[in-house]
């Protein structure tokens, strides 16, 4: 059982999307056109057979529907909550072109997978023992997806995770109004329930165990180490109390408590999805004034437009084309001095302004962990990102990689797809080119 602390700030959040009741799910499912060559499938990184799982809900075969989802994506429960469906499956639904509301695929997926969890339906078991052993470094979405399928192939699996908590960003980083850490823990338990996955927590490669030891113990290694700590700007005042990395702050809020006593103004630096998430989190925790400070324009921000639109409705403000040059305050931060940028991203002389802030959250990206594998001959690393083939294979025999450490930082659903793909490739590598797919394929 994955252990999540009971006292957590995140329990103050409520789901931002209501779950469907059975009747609502059937009505919505019956709107689907069950398209041939469905664009919604093509938009899904795990290629779930969406019309098929929806058809099964329409015919009240929810167990079959859940099976269809999990066959493609064992993290189907969390993906139903955290996927940016507006730019993936739902955004591709043919109804968008007909000026009709698209099918609520995420909510239907949540309905089927939640029922599977509630009813305790089991679909998978480990394959016959092959005698091979695989190390998985990192127990986030990619590692978990790979572990599950490797067990289905019959390989022994050991997961090495540096944290005490499993689940990776699903447990530590997902906005709690989308999914709370206890739900991520339920998913970890659901996946580990296949049995035979040895989980070693508090073990960091390079500190507690070395690649050479893993090579001696295992026949293949899947590297799924995610991303590193928050990046910081090199400006005066970084050491002030109240200046934090956003990902670190979110983790504290999800797995423990953050204090917002005396915090009336938050400045979030960045314009990506983490920035937008943390803006909404601060607002929903009751902070009066939350300002996103981004060096580019609103049109250029990389955060999803639908999420930013929701943030604005919740009261978010923004200062576009602003770059912090100093954090102000004695011991604790009181404001951010920033310079305005022109359209060529050059500072405009004499344009400095000060934005009041009792808390500054830096969401300008996370470090890459390529250094962790740089001692391994044959593994290419570019800008900190591990380079792999489509299958996840690296240039070093027996080493595969997937998830954020190999894609640079994408969605949970990408990590799930890459973990599954790597499991298949690892199986092929171990079985000398003969894939041992079960009859239904996976
Ligand atoms: Fe159903 Fe829309 Fe997918 Fe067509 S594109 S199968 S209508 S969800």
Residue 141 lies in a domain: yes
Question: Sheet of 333-340: strands edge to edge?
Answer: 322-329, 333-340, 353-356
Residue 233 lies in a domain: no
pTM of this structure: 0.93
Same structural domain for residues 279 and 297? yes
Of ligand 1's listed atoms, the one at least distance from the Cα of 41 is 3
Same structural domain for residues 271 and 358? yes
Distance 31 CA to ligand 1 centre (A): 9
Same structural domain for residues 146 and 48? no
Same structural domain for residues 143 and 210? yes
Residue from 47, 93, 104 whose mutation best tests the ligand 1 pocket (most atoms within 8 A of CB): 93
Q: Given 362, 383, 407, which residue is the final one in a domain?
A: 362
Rounded to whole angstroms, the Cα distance separating 310 from 293 reads: 17
CATH of residue 45's domain is: 1.10.1060.10
* Contact (CB, 8 A) for 102 and 95: yes
Distance 175 CA to ligand 1 centre (A): 27
Same structural domain for residues 256 and 340? yes
- What does each of the 442 residues of the chain score in pLDDT, given as a tens digit? 568 999 999 999 988 888 999 999 999 999 999 999 999 999 999 999 999 999 999 999 999 999 999 999 999 999 999 999 999 999 999 999 999 999 999 999 999 999 999 999 999 999 999 999 999 999 999 999 999 999 999 999 999 999 999 999 999 999 999 999 999 999 999 999 999 999 999 999 999 999 999 999 999 999 999 999 999 999 999 999 999 999 999 999 999 999 999 999 999 999 999 999 999 999 999 999 999 999 999 999 999 999 999 999 999 999 999 999 999 999 999 999 999 999 988 999 999 999 999 999 999 999 999 889 988 999 999 999 999 999 999 999 999 999 999 999 999 999 999 999 999 999 999 996 644 444 444 4
Distance 38 CA to ligand 1 centre (A): 6
Distance 91 CA to ligand 1 centre (A): 10
Q: What angle do CA 14, 18, 21 make, to 5 degrees?
A: 135
Same structural domain for residues 415 and 373? yes
Q: Which domain holds residue 339?
A: 243-362
Distance 14 CA to ligand 1 centre (A): 29
Indicate which residue's Cα is closest to atom 3 of ligand 1: 40
Ligand 1 neighbours by CB, cut-off 6 Å: 32-35, 38-40, 50-51, 54, 93-95, 103, 105
Look at strands 243-245 and 156-161 and give their pairing.
unpaired
Q: Domain total for the chain?
A: 3
Residue 442 lies in a domain: no
Residue 11 lies in a domain: no
Distance 49 CA to ligand 1 centre (A): 10
């Amino acid at each position: 059982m994955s252990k999540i602390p009971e006292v957590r700030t995140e329990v103050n959040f409520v789901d931002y999307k209501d779950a469907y009741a059975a009747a609502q799910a059937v009505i919505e499912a019956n709107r689907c056109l069950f398209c041939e060559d469905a664009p919604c499938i093509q938009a899904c990184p795990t290629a779930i057979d969406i019309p098929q799982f929806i058809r099964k809900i329409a015919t009240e075969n929810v167990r079959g529907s859940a099976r269809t989802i999990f066959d493609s994506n064992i993290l189907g429960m969390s993906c139903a909550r955290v996927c940016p469906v507006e730019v993936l499956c739902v955004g591709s639904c043919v109804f968008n072109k007909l000026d009709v509301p698209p099918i609520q695929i995420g909510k239907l997926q949540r309905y089927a997978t939640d029922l599977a969890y509630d009813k305790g339906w089991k679909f998978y078991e480990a394959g016959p023992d092959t005698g091979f052993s695989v190390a998985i470094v990192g127990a986030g979405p990619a590692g978990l997806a790979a572990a599950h399928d490797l067990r289905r192939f019959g390989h022994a699996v050991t997961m090495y995770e540096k944290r005490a908590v499993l689940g990776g960003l699903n447990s530590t980083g997902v906005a709690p109004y989308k999914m709370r850490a206890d739900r991520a823990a339920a998913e970890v338990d659901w996946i580990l329930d296949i049995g035979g996955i040895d989980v070693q927590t508090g073990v960091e490669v390079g500190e507690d165990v070395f690649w050479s030891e893993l090579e001696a113990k295992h026949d293949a290694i899947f590297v799924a180490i995610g991303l590193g700590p928050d990046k910081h700007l090199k400006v005066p005042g970084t050491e002030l109390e109240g200046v934090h990395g956003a990902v670190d702050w979110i983790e504290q809020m999800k797995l423990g408590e953050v204090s917002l006593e005396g915090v009336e103004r938050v400045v979030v630096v960045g314009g990506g999805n983490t920035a937008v998430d943390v803006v909404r989190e601060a607002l929903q925790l009751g902070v009066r004034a939350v300002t996103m400070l981004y060096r580019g324009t609103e049109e250029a921000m990389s955060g999803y437009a639908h999420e930013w639109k929701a943030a604005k409705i919740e009261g978010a403000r923004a200062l576009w084309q602003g770059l912090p040059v100093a954090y102000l305050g004695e011991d604790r931060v009181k404001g951010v001095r920033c310079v305005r940028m022109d359209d060529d991203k050059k500072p405009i002389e004499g344009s400095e302004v000060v934005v009041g802030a009792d808390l500054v959250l830096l969401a300008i990206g996370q470090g890459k962990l390529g250094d962790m594998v740089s001692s391994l001959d044959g593994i290419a690393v570019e800008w900190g990102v591990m380079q792999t083939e489509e299958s996840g294979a690296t240039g070093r025999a027996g080493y595969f990689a997937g998830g954020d450490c190999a894609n640079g930082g994408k969605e949970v659903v990408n990590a799930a797809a890459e973990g599954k793909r790597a499991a298949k490739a690892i199986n092929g590598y171990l079985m000398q080119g003969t894939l041992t797919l079960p009859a239904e394929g996976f």
